[in-house]
Amino acid sequence: MRNKKRYAVVIDTYVYAENDYMARRKAHDIKRGIVGDHSRVIEITECPFASMQTRNLEDISEPTLNNSNVWVESDELPF
């Protein structure tokens, strides 16, 4: 990688999901599939088709797997 330069790229796409949790999960799956863990999700916005109203998700963290390989919602830290 000595001869390669690093560039920041913003990728915009739509994700269809049943709820906020699944939208976060799909967004991070796409991120990992594109370039591995060398990128980050900056923003996730709910934008219904043909609607002018959008909503930014407050929590865009990546969901985690538990010991049984089941996706779980992260607990908030007490501070």
pLDDT for the residue numbered 73: 62
Distances (CA, A) of 47 to 7, 15, 25, 44, 54: 28, 10, 17, 9, 5
pLDDT for the residue numbered 18: 93
Given a cut of 60, is residue 46 above it in pLDDT?
A: yes
What mean pLDDT is predicted for residues 48-74? Answer: 76
Output the pTM of the full model: 0.52
The pLDDT tens digits for 4-29 are 766 656 677 888 899 999 998 888 88
